[in-house]
Structure 1
Amino acid sequence: TGALEADPRTRRLPLHFLWHDERLLPRLRALAAETDRLVVALSFATADRPAMAGLLTRLCPLDGLFIVAGGPHPSARPVEALRLGADAVVIGEGEEALPAILDRLQRGEPLAGLPGVVTLDEGGQPLRGPRPRPLRLDDYPPLGLAHRRFAPIEITRGCPCACSFCQTSFLFGGRMRHRSVENIVAWVRRAMERGYRYLRFITPNAFAYQSPDNGRTVNLAAIERLLGEMAALVGRERVYFGTFPSEVGPETVTPEAVALVRRYCGNDNLIFGAQSGSERMLRALRRCHTVADVLRAAEIVAAGGLTPVVDLIFGLPGEEPEDVAATLRLMDELVARGAVLHTHTFMPLPGTPLEHAPPGRVDPALHPVLDRLASQGHQIGQWRKQERLAARDSR
């Protein structure tokens, strides 16, 4: 939204934000009747594919619609999205591509050749535009202020780890790109004038913000400057850093970084990923940390007065009984350090090295263990739901 508002080619276009509910189709019919061409933009993840496929089936018969799909699933499988009914797919970053699509449509020009855009030719074959250049975050608004579209502010894009189960590096590249403190402050000031009150951030690793070596070294000065500015603007109790919807890397957790969160932020926890207690599995998954890093991070976070919330994935491909046993040992050690376990079931995601792996299945013998931990307040997460979704999506 922010990119459309900022681009002179699109800033005057009327934008409508519709919920995917029973009012959607009647509203689209009404809007289509008011204009020669109505562009419908959809962004969705793999878990949403069945619902979006059903929606596209209902949208395609409507006259005057041009459907643009984007987000993690269409980016990884653009031809599938096109054959489901989309007219164009934006791969990865959309800040340049979507305004360019709308500009071409207004001019009546074909979309072929637009960077990062895929369409089908008359014979149903894909036409892929060139690979776009990585965007500079400061060049685009993080929020849609004119339409009051507030969201967590993306401060970093890209991740160096390229974990084999995760889409982030494959969507946005392995080089971290950071939004500057000055840019963030300017947009937050403007957003506050329109009622923006709580600050959360989007980043693959909050403690890698402005890292000088792509995430290996923590830039304490940059983090303190960012958090200090944010706390001064909205108040410490309204700043949330290193927690939902983001996290920190366990290998970057230091007492000094945790102290900054305690000083300037309102969150009472820090989230980081362990994923497995097996060193063998961590290497296979291309994680950027070791089991020792996870335990050390939990100790530092707890000692700093925050609750460690640690992600774990069950049903990983190639996992052997000894790997599961190692994860159970890690769980015990983390709980002893005051951690809450955030549990997941492996879901193969398109565009990742593990996209063709079988869906994760949690050993039934682990169910009572996880249920007991949940009843004691030590375990949260959607592992059961994800197990069902993974099985459904593999069919």
Structure 2
Amino acid sequence: MIKLIFQYDKRVKYSINAILASVDKLNVSKVYLSNSFEESLRLAGSSSKEEKCVYAVSLLTTMLADESYLSSLIRTVQKIREKGCLTVIGGAHASGDPYGALSVLGFDYAVIGEGERTFTDFLTALEDNVDVHGVKGLAYRSGEDGTVSFTGRGKPVNLDEYDPFPYWRGIVNPIEITRGCSFGCFYCQVSYLQGFTLRHRSIDRIVTYAEIALKLGFKDLRFISPDSLSYGLPFSTSPVNLEKIESLMEGLHAKTVKYGGRIFYGTFPSEVRPEHAQQDVLRTIRKYVANRELIIGGQSGSERILKLIRRGHGVEEIEQAVESALREGFTPSVDFIIGFPSETEEDMLQTLKLAEKLVGKGARIHLHYYIPLPGTPLGLRKPAPLPVKVRKEWSRLVGAGKAYGSWLTQEILAKKIIELFEKGIIHPRQAGLTSAQLPHLSG
């Protein structure tokens, strides 16, 4: 029997819940959810000789910007390994920087990409005394020199084969309906971690989990997707499958009528791409959803930047999406990111100009600052600093209640992540593409 200790951090609870749901079905381990490093050490120290101990952590790169958390994590991993436990790291950071996760943070194994199958295969192999190095999707240190080896990518996960959360524990979270993105935006990890082909949980399964949540007393149904309006598509570039989306809405609506509940779609924790937010599509979902906010991923008001980051749409599509949303009774909340590498003051002012135009029509602006992430083409390229004029104008819009967001906190986070890269906490191999590989980044 395996004693499995999960470091249960609320910042990554959705990811842990999905893995926990898979692990629970194995019946090969006793699972402990630890809310602190101290508790994890205590649990590891109480392991019996008959148990194989595994300590598992899911990590976002932004979590490492907390110096106290980082030092506590490294210390805990070291002490738990000394107690004879195997240590495993997963999540976006492990996939983006397996070298640093193993060589610097000190973990024995890193799960690369999707974890449902890889981690359960790992535990099964461990329980059966089979060589875990035959499990696809694992990175590990090999040899005395600490060389990092990779067992190769595993097959893409079929979402219908895995529960999105362990509802039998009374744990429910937004239902993941789609995984993957075809665009591969240079700042985003989704395509590079989950693939460029879209995979969807079937309508029957989504409705089943919605009913489970409603029966457990949860009233608001929310969904996880890179683009809520891409549901049912083979690729993000395909036209909206309105028939599929309406079938999903009808199935969910029947359950909310039966049990009492509300559907939130195209809003937190998801969004919609501008080119998919067409008026007929929004008119259809408007009949079923409770949300009046629609989150539109605009990202920039500069055509140059939109092309640079390979966003796949232009400014015109952003404006059209806002107008369609307003006509159908939604309040559009448009995501913009400032500080992209090589972004100029002129680019930023173009984004500001577009923001003010959209605000004048009735939209709100959700402002972000660019955060460098390992595992993306932009990688650890330094963000562009904000000119005084740009900072002042955005502060004015925020102060007037026309824009909101954690952009100032994210600016600090971005700086700390670059410092971690420069200190070697994040491995130099994660620097991202060079200017020679991305010539349009220069200047």
Q: Please indicate the TM-score interval, normalised by the length of the shorter structure.
A: over 0.9
Aligned ranges 1:26-65 → 2 under 5 Å: 26-30=39-43, 32-35=45-48, 36-50=51-65, 51-52=69-70, 54-62=72-80, 63-65=83-85
Secondary structure of 2:221's counterpart equals coil
1:175-214 paired onto structure 2 within 5 Å: 175-211=197-233, 213-214=235-236
> In structure 2, do the counterparts of structure 1 residues 213 and 77 end up closer, same or farther at CA, with 3 Å as the change threshold?
closer
Counterpart residue identity of residue 84, structure 2? G
More moved, 8-17 vs 64-73: 8-17
- Cα distance change, pair 172–250 in 1 and its aligned pair in 2 (3 A): same
Listed as ranges, the matches of 1:93-132 within 5 Å are 93-123=114-144, 124-132=146-154
1:274 aligned to 2:336? no
Note if 1:17 corresponds to 2:33: yes
Report deviation, 1:363: 2.0
**TM-score, length-scaled by structure 1:** 0.93
How far, CA to CA, are the matches of 2:241 and 2:142 in structure 1?
48
Offset of 1:352 from its aligned partner?
0.8
TM-score (norm 2): 0.84
CA contact (8 A) 1:32 1:38 kept: no
- Identical residues among aligned pairs (%): 35
* Alignment-mate amino acid for residue 46 of structure 1: T
* Cα distance in 2, alignment partners of residues 137 and 316 from structure 1: 33
Matches within 5 A, 1:1-395: 1-2=17-18, 5=21, 10-11=26-27, 13-20=29-36, 24-30=37-43, 32-35=45-48, 36-50=51-65, 51-52=69-70, 54-62=72-80, 63-83=83-103, 84-123=105-144, 124-211=146-233, 213-235=235-257, 238-395=262-419
The answer as to whether partners of 2:28 and 2:124 remain within 8 angstroms in 1 is no
Taking a change above 3 Å as real, the CA distance of residues 186 and 350 of structure 1, as seen in their structure-2 partners, is same
SS in 2 for 1:264: coil
Query: Which protein, 1 or 2, shows the higher relative CO under an 8 Å CA cutoff with sep ≥ 6?
Result: 2
Q: Distance in 2 between matches of 1:292 and 1:97?
A: 42
Structure 2: gaps (5+ residues): 1-16, 420-443
Contact 2:41/2:79 (8 A) holds in 1? no
SS in 2 for 1:352: coil
Greater mean alpha carbon deviation, residues 25-34 or residues 138-147: 25-34
Deviations 1:32-55 (A, max 9, x none): 414433322211111012424531
Inter-CA distance 107–222: structure 2 relative to 1 (3 Å threshold): same
Structure 2 counterpart of 1:266, one-letter code = A
Once the two structures are superposed, residues 105-126 of structure 1 have per-residue CA deviations (whole angstroms, 9 ceiling, x without a partner) of 2233332121101111232111
Q: Distance in 2 between matches of 1:108 and 1:85?
A: 23
Between the aligned partners of 1:27 and 1:132, the Cα distance in structure 2 is 29
Matches of 1:301 and 1:322, distance apart in 2? 28
Question: Structure 2 vs 1, CA of residues 296 and 9 (structure 1 numbering), >3 Å: closer, same or farther?
Answer: closer
Q: Which amino acid aligns with 2:410?
A: Q
Q: Secondary structure at the match of 1:10?
A: coil
Mapped contact 2:109–2:139 kept (Cα < 8 A):
yes
- 1:341-377 CA deviation, whole Å, 9 max, x = no partner? 1111111111111113113422222222222212222
- Separation in 2, partners of 1:258, 1:371: 31
CA distance in 1, matches of 2:374, 2:40: 32
